[in-house]
Chains A and B, each alone.
Chain A
Amino acid sequence: MRVLVGLGTCGIAAGAEATYAALAEKLPGLGNGLRVEKTGCVGMCYREPVVEVRADDGSRWQYGAVTADRVDRLLAEHVVGGTPVAEWLVWASDGSGAERAFLDRQVRIVLRNCGLIDPEDIGQYLEVGGYEALRRVVEQNDPAAVIRAITDSGLRGRGGAGFPTGVKWRFAREAAGTHKYIICNADEGDPGAFMDRSVLESDPHSVLEGMAIAGFAIGAADGYVYVRAEYPKAIERLSIALAQAEERGFLGEGIFGSGFGFRIKLKEGAGAFVCGEETALIASIEGRRGMPRSRPPFPAEKGLWGQPTSINNVETLANVPWIVRNGPGAYSSLGTAESKGTKVFAMAGKVRRGGLVEVPMGITIREIVRDVCGGIKEGGRFKAVQMGGPSGGCIPAELENTTIDYESIAKTGAIMGSGGLVVMDETTCMVDVARFFLEFTQRESCGKCTFCRVGTKRMLEILTRITEGRGQEGDIERLEALAELVKNDSLCGLGQTAPNPVLTTLRYFRGEYEAHINNRKCPAHHCLPLLTYLITDVCNGCTLCVRVCPSGAITGEKKQVHLIDPAVCIRCDECYRVCRFDAIVRD
């Protein structure tokens, strides 16, 4: 029997290392054949640390929220006693578990090994068929066939734009150049997105294998993984994986005894969101300022050091070995007419089960939010999802039957993006959401082109004043006009998509903007400067609010209904938060 501890960054943050230490200390003493193992992240961020008990026959029990203090009971009841601890069980292979809907509805291709194998042990990757795909490709020695297979699978770039991966490879293969490159874009920068990090931390070899296959396909001998420096765990595991793969001869010269050689280098990004843009990423690897340039020429034609370069995202590359092994048909049988396979989403916001999910294309937003993720937290009302991070947009609850595929999502004004999906309820102010995302893009603009540099700044200024209750007549029109300009006249994707959150919220939630500007009200009761605080008759005069009020705006005798002077109130929200009787209302 083995006990596996999920040691992704999210697990570690929840205390998984202490759990692992406790298990490592206690488990071996309980009997022979009992081992503690590390594994990656299974995706249940809302239930970390996740611990799996795996019987020798392959039966599995996954427990959620196993902090170190729960280790004793788990060991006593399950390992020693043989009875699973039902109240912590989230999923088990025998059909039990309180959260099984979360995993059962998923189709895991990219995440196939996440949470199952030890990412630091190449042996475990090999056990699940790792590097078989590379072997097959190299032995068949037909790069065109590889490109055909990827094209036939319908795989599209998972970094956001959804460009067909096979076509991209074909361009790079056909482009003239003395030395071609594969770059794995692991500069995951969308706030709230962590798909790539999780894959790199949980299954780094599948990405390396995907890169080697891509390299073989386009005729590249060198690859770079451009990974953001804020992902130390991913970098550590990638480095280990690289060393192991080189040692085993899966990377380097003469792979599988063939004439094909492929080397991979890690390049740490310096934390600029714009470096996720292909041309900026290339500039950054070349040691220049991470600033996009106009395309064409596309990197497939003139990329790194002026040579043909294919830049593929982590998730895209992790799909590749699976497709090679299972055939393009297995992949293309999933999904819709134009969007094949699966997509990983990082679920965040007001959803009950937040975490990483991989679902087949064609599933609806409603199914993801309600069925997979268990709906809205604490009985709130589903209002909207924000998809695609700062480049994406908000899709209102009315459109929850929209299917997940590139075209349908684009029709709503949002984008598939890299997979960030933020769920919102009625307490979310959509103007503030737009402001939040725009603040991000505005800060992360490289500063090169006029509309992105100055235009987003001016848009942000308008949004900020609206949420601060200083909106002016005409601001909505000004925003719309600027948004169109920034969208059309920016150099790279960052600027071209930066207005999306504003445009979609204006499209679906225009009334909220108008309320902020015309009535000086925030319908979601979120924008503090717009709120009026009132004490209702429920007040029993406990004086707690009087004591926390920093501006002395609240007066009232003990056991009498209190009063807030709106002229003195600074809208700090303190009283609202401390009142135990819901006597304070915000309007």
Chain B
Amino acid sequence: MALVRLEIDGRRVTAEAGRTILEVARENGISIPTLCHDDRLEPFASCYLCVVRVSGARTLLPSCATKVSAGMIVETTNEEIRRARRAALELLLSDHYADCVGPCQLSCPAGIDIQGYIGLTALGKYREAVALIKEKNPLPAICGRVCTRPCETTGCRRNLLDEPVGIDYIKRYVSDLELAERDWPRPAAAPPNGRKMAVVGAGPAGLSCAYYLALDGYHVDILEALPEPGGMLRYGIPEYRLPKDVLDLEIGQILGLGATLSTNTVLGRDYSITSLKEGGYDAIFLGIGAWGSSKLRVPDEDAPGVLAGIDFLREVGLGQQAGLHGRVLVFGGGNTAIDCARSALRLGAEEVRLLYRRTRAEMPANEMEIVEARHEGVAMDYLTAPVRVVRGPSGRVEAVECVRMELGPPDASGRPSPRPVPGSEFRVGADFVLVAIGQSARVEELIDGRIPGFLPPGERLDLSRWKTIQADDHTGETSIEGVFSGGDVVTGAATVIEAIAAGRRAAYAMDRYARFGHAEAEPEEFLSKKDAFHSVTVADLRSRESSPRISMPVLLPELRRRTFAEVERGLSPEDAWRESLRCMECGCSALFTCDLRRYATEYGAKVGTYLGQAREHLLDRTHPLIELDSNKCILCGRCVRICDEVVGIGAFGFVRRGFDAVVKPALGGSLLDTDCVSCGLCIDTCPTGAIAERNTLTKSGPWRTTHVESVCSYCGAGCRIGYEVFGGTLVEASRSIHATAADGNYCGKGRFGYATLRPGERLSRAAVKEGGEQRDESVDGALRRAAERLRPPEGGRSGDEVAVFVSPRLSNEEIYLAQKLARVALGTCNVTSFAHLVNRELWAPEVRSTASSADLSRAEAVLVVNSRLDEEHFVAGLAANQAIRSGGRLVYVGPERNRTALFAAAHVRCREGGQLFAVAGILGEYARLEPAALRSHPGLAAWIEETGIDQLAGLAGVPRADLAEAGRILAESSRKVVVFNKDYRGLRRAGDERLFAEAAEALGGSLLALREKTNMQGLLDMGVGPSGLPGSAGADIAGLLRDHRIKTVVILGEDPFGSPGYPPDLIEGLRAAELLVVGDLFPTATTAAADIVLPLSSTAESSGTMTNQEGRILAFDRAVAPVAGLETWEILCSLAAHLGHGVAMAYGGTGEVSAEIARAVPGYSGAHAAGDPAPEPPGGAAPARIGFDPALAVAEVAPVQTLALDASEARLARWLGESFRQARAALRRA
């Protein structure tokens, strides 16, 4: 390919002609945003996000579809480009009827990820739930009791259906657990950064601010005027709602981060802003609350016995209020009024009466509070307002004269304005009157000059119209440099959660201020909201099944009088779990992966710019694994094209035109009605959440997962995949970050197969058989027992009587350790796998791949024999599709008329078992065109010559013309790959593998030998071959079994007893053994028969390497902990140690095993890290000389079926089968 020079963003780069600007920019580390491009697909140019400026072009050009040319000058970012990209995003967003996060999160002043923590609660991941909450709110146990819950009242979509989810109950539940469990890991503060901050006021705003500052490594001094920290939490909210010990525990956690607290330290008395500034603080936070009380403004309000509600509550909090008795009147309708009323009741009042000037409907107090107050016996008079206080003879209050009110038109606050009904005055007797009609900040008295030098010279603290501190909504900055503020002192009396949020935001801004000299608001992420389009309806809900809200158990009302014990008792574990299931997961599952959202944030796109009509669709959940939400679809067509271009299925299509265009399953119905093979590539390519996996977890977040590079262990392709992990749970599988266009696909097993590896059905404990019965045992206990019985001479076995069987799904490290265990600790060379005991005539271990999957995708001609690419070797099939798409031609040799045959340029449809002759015939025809071809294969040449092409055609059962056509295609092409399946199940001939391998050589091409099991090649490379270990060459383990000479059997990961069709004489041989030790992932027929059962770890639960069918060594990392606690390698090493060979098998980890393999096995010497970008197949050892022996070639062999030897794939197949059966049935019913 010719090279061209061009300039991108001022950099001179060299690129292959024919590449696109997007590709060349990426190669040079310049990222250009795109939504419609996927490097596996042809350029489409539909989203127009990738536009760039090319000198000389009239308009911006889509870089995904514009090829580079010599001398081109490209600019990938400037204001014009940013504007165009933002416009494209805004247009897409104007038709993106979707919620990024649930409305609950949006309505939470602190923006807590509610869906996330409820999901974690549903999974029993309480620690993670609390940690998630604490990212936004450090006082969850407090909030779980006193929050006004906008998330429930206005946020929760369940309001459309039945009742809101008990979000706050769940929060309280998990945070109470945290408070109770002292050993839970809690976030640790960053190392001290040497800077210090002052926080004035230990109320919710100050505490929250201090928490986040302390986490960032600041030294924080909290200064509190009252004797104890907590502010309104302690001195405004009564104990029966918020027990002081809960308060103490949560505040204790904040102080535990290293913040210091000084109580009884009063601003304006003990210190001033000036002194703080002089004290060297980097920034100061003022969170001094709103402790002023509004007056009734009626005559004789100052009579003894008339108290401000807020003062009354504070005194109760200080333990000072005694002597309350008789009739208590409370004026007001907010939470403070209710708190006063209920406290008064508990303090001994005979009668408590709450008077409110509007009706119950307008009362601002929480509904729940009102209900409970009434239960407790608080009387309520609505439409009643005080006119004057009536003094008794002593001058004390004796009564209040009131007047009846009626409601007029709405006032500024939107509530109906009450007005007195003339002549309706009446008198209510009272011993005490509590006034709770409003609170105010008391800042003015600090700064009006009464306190000399309170503010530094020249500084002024700006106040609002309501005499609160004026502070920036996002940063909390006040008019004084370096002084921030938040909470009630800014907002006036508001909610705890608002104060907490303000404290956190200020902490963020103060940190930036301290570090960079200017305050900065928390970054704002783009969030799409359905409500921006119009009010949502029941049709938007993911489910319409009603379920009742769990009610909070409360202390019996009759028990509440005279006690401040907490009224709400908290949910039971069962109820908390059940309530968490009620969450309908309104937020998008692609929240953390969505490219549309990422770019919208990056480009500052606004959803409202082009708002107009948006398309609305119903969710399609007919497919059991894949969920389609067309509302989120941006018509990029990636799913349509990946299914068509890469998979060759075309399960998706565009329907309708223009604005109404929509991507749907091809026939407009369900995906189940299409040819969809459920590979999941559409999920992976979708840039939004329009196509999502239907996760099998009870709740699936979304959470910000950790990506772990791994390898799919279901077949010989050994596809690189990623595991997405959160909180120790495998959330889903994803595309490897090192995936390339040519190499990086997977099939449904890779995408969905992780689900069956989850704990549910796995072996989670070891077992030991005693008296014919298996009983559970600890892994270590089982290993001890195993060692006792295995150890020679006690075990009494010579090496000949021991056999170890290893699954080709284990990693190289595990296999290596297994054979080492056998050799070193068990003294036997009988190490093999059950697959190796059968089909011996067919075994040709020297035949191995010389081609990679990428070679196949680039081939000009592909000869496929003995393999059904479309069904059994999906990923190889994709590579072959790619070759065909780029003009390559496929020759298919086989009796079946399947999809592979359909796409073949030539189908040599031989009779069953005739493949060998067909390939030989093709080779003969090829040699007629390329006479040199067979020169270095004299034996083969002679046989073909001798037999004659006509006869080969006859033996193959095909017209000779077909062979000639195939030969011609191969002769016309240069890059050639021969593909065949070493584990082919059809009728075979003994010499076919060797013939195919020689054919590949003779054609001047390479060979891709497909394998059914992931690590079949690794098994051979680790020395576990058909005839056991080197050194036991010729040992006939099958023969030993048949002769019942094997007395001790160790099986790792195979299930011969559960394999129908496995030769009965071999099974008998196993049954004749006296000791059967079996390790597996799942309970199987073989583990059931075992004397000792060991639970092994899966690929997700360990690290290591696999050698796939290409011969590529693929490393993987541990994603989650093993179900039973130990990784397979640890089990093997531990067993060795119990057998007295601890030293020989002492490893610090699988890395050390890999290193030993690298020293011992040729071709394994490279370093292998998980997700190594492009480990090529080991090239060191040239494949052994292939010897095709015509004498053996023609023998017919029907291979023994061996698939079920492994339980994991069977289980996956069963699970998938059942899911699809149910989905189809549901679809038929609908």
Q: Is the CB of A444 within 8 A of B88?
A: no
B747 within 8 A of A: no
B87 within 8 A of A: yes
The residue from A274, A293, A446, A447 contacting B45, defined by CB atoms under 8 A apart: A293
Interface string of A454-468 (1 = CB under 8 A from B): 111110010000000
C-alpha spacing A454/B46, complex, angstroms: 12
Q: Is the CB of B658 within 8 A of A447?
A: yes
Question: In the assembled complex, which residues on chain A have CB atoms less than 8 Å from the CB atom of B400?
Answer: none
From residue A503, how far is it (CB to closest CB) to chain B in Å? 15
From residue B93, how far is it (CB to closest CB) to chain A in Å? 9
Given known pairs A447-B654, A457-B613, the reply for A489 and B637 (CB within 8 Å) is: no
Residues of chain A from 434 to 485 with CB closer than 8 A to chain B in the complex: 442-451, 453-458, 461, 482, 485
Given known pairs A442-B659, A455-B91, A458-B94, the reply for A289 and B654 (CB within 8 Å) is: yes
Residue of A448, A450, A491 contacting most chain B CB atoms (<10 Å) = A450
Question: In the assembled complex, which residues on chain A have CB atoms less than 8 Å from the CB atom of B87?
Answer: 451, 485, 489
C-alpha spacing A120/B658, complex, angstroms: 39
Number of chain A residues close to chain B: CB under 8 A: 31
C-alpha spacing A274/B46, complex, angstroms: 15
C-alpha spacing A562/B58, complex, angstroms: 60
Q: Is the CB of A450 within 8 A of B48?
A: yes
Q: Tell me the nearest residue of chain B to A492, going by C-beta.
A: B45
Q: Which of these binds chain A: B60-68, B350-358, B893-901, B1168-1176?
A: B60-68
The residue from B44, B62, B610, B661 contacting A447, defined by CB atoms under 8 A apart: B661
Q: Tell me the nearest residue of chain A to B42, going by C-beta.
A: A293
Interface residues of B toward A: which range? 35 or more
B1001 within 8 A of A: no
Given known pairs A289-B654, A447-B656, the reply for A294 and B613 (CB within 8 Å) is: no
From residue B1102, how far is it (CB to closest CB) to chain A in Å? 46
Q: Majority SS of interface residues in chain B?
A: loop
Q: Is the CB of B45 within 8 A of A491?
A: yes
C-alpha spacing A488/B44, complex, angstroms: 17
C-alpha spacing A454/B636, complex, angstroms: 13
Question: In the assembled complex, which residues on chain B have CB atoms less than 8 Å from the CB atom of A289?
Answer: 653-654
Interface string of A274-291 (1 = CB under 8 A from B): 100000000000000101
Q: Tell me the nearest residue of chain B to A442, going by C-beta.
A: B658
C-alpha spacing A532/B1118, complex, angstroms: 77
Interface string of B49-63 (1 = CB under 8 A from A): 101000000111010
Question: In the assembled complex, which residues on chain B have CB atoms less than 8 Å from the CB atom of A272?
Answer: 657
Q: Is the CB of A291 within 8 A of B654?
A: yes
B660 within 8 A of A: yes
Q: Is the CB of A489 within 8 A of B48?
A: yes
Given known pairs A442-B659, A445-B659, the reply for A296 and B67 (CB within 8 Å) is: yes
Q: Is the CB of A453 within 8 A of B661?
A: yes
Given known pairs A291-B654, A461-B613, A489-B84, the reply for A454 and B659 (CB within 8 Å) is: yes
Residues of chain B from 95 to 121 with CB closer than 8 A to chain A in the complex: 95
C-alpha spacing A152/B250, complex, angstroms: 90
Interface string of B32-53 (1 = CB under 8 A from A): 0000000000011111110100
Q: Is the CB of A454 within 8 A of B48?
A: no
Question: In the assembled complex, which residues on chain B have CB atoms less than 8 Å from the CB atom of A453?
Answer: 635, 658-659, 661
B612 within 8 A of A: yes
Given known pairs A445-B658, A485-B87, the reply for A454 and B59 (CB within 8 Å) is: no
Interface string of A289-315 (1 = CB under 8 A from B): 101011010000000000000000000
Q: Is the CB of A443 within 8 A of B67?
A: no
Q: Is the CB of B48 within 8 A of A451?
A: yes
From residue B1139, how far is it (CB to closest CB) to chain A in Å? 66
Question: In the assembled complex, which residues on chain B have CB atoms less than 8 Å from the CB atom of A456?
Answer: 658-659
From residue A403, how far is it (CB to closest CB) to chain B in Å? 25
From residue B651, how far is it (CB to closest CB) to chain A in Å? 15
Question: In the assembled complex, which residues on chain B have CB atoms less than 8 Å from the CB atom of A445?
Answer: 657-659
Q: Is the CB of B91 within 8 A of A450?
A: yes
B711 within 8 A of A: no
Residues of chain A from 197 to 217 with CB closer than 8 A to chain B in the complex: none
Given known pairs A294-B62, A450-B92, the reply for A443 and B45 (CB within 8 Å) is: no
Q: Tell me the nearest residue of chain B to A490, going by C-beta.
A: B48
Question: In the assembled complex, which residues on chain B have CB atoms less than 8 Å from the CB atom of A461?
Answer: 612-613
From residue A436, how far is it (CB to closest CB) to chain B in Å? 16
From residue B765, how far is it (CB to closest CB) to chain A in Å? 56
The residue from A274, A294, A447, A482 contacting B43, defined by CB atoms under 8 A apart: A294
Q: Is the CB of B94 within 8 A of A489?
A: no
C-alpha spacing A458/B67, complex, angstroms: 31
C-alpha spacing A446/B47, complex, angstroms: 14
From residue B608, how far is it (CB to closest CB) to chain A in Å? 12
Residue of A444, A447, A485 contacting most chain B CB atoms (<10 Å) = A447
Question: In the assembled complex, which residues on chain A have CB atoms less than 8 Å from the CB atom of B637?
Answer: 448
C-alpha spacing A458/B91, complex, angstroms: 8
Question: In the assembled complex, which residues on chain B have CB atoms less than 8 Å from the CB atom of A454?
Answer: 91-92, 94-95, 610, 659
Question: In the assembled complex, which residues on chain B have CB atoms less than 8 Å from the CB atom of A457?
Answer: 95, 612-613, 658-659
C-alpha spacing A146/B13, complex, angstroms: 44
Q: Is the CB of B661 within 8 A of A446?
A: yes
Given known pairs A485-B87, A488-B60, the reply for A449 and B67 (CB within 8 Å) is: no
C-alpha spacing A274/B62, complex, angstroms: 20
Question: In the assembled complex, which residues on chain B have CB atoms less than 8 Å from the CB atom of A446?
Answer: 657-658, 661
- Tell me the B residues contacting A by CB distance below 8 Å: 43-49, 51, 58-60, 62, 65-67, 84, 87-88, 91-92, 94-95, 610, 612-613, 634-635, 637, 653-654, 656-661
Some 5 contacts from A to B, beta carbons below 8 A apart, are: A444-B657, A448-B661, A450-B46, A450-B635, A455-B610
**Which 6 pairs across A and B sit closest by C-beta, in order of nearness?**
A447-B661, A294-B65, A488-B59, A445-B658, A454-B91, A294-B45
A sample of 20 more A-B contacts (CB under 8 A), given A450-B48, A454-B94, is A291-B654, A294-B45, A296-B67, A444-B657, A444-B658, A447-B654, A449-B47, A450-B91, A450-B92, A451-B87, A453-B658, A454-B95, A456-B659, A457-B659, A458-B91, A461-B613, A489-B84, A491-B45, A491-B46, A491-B48
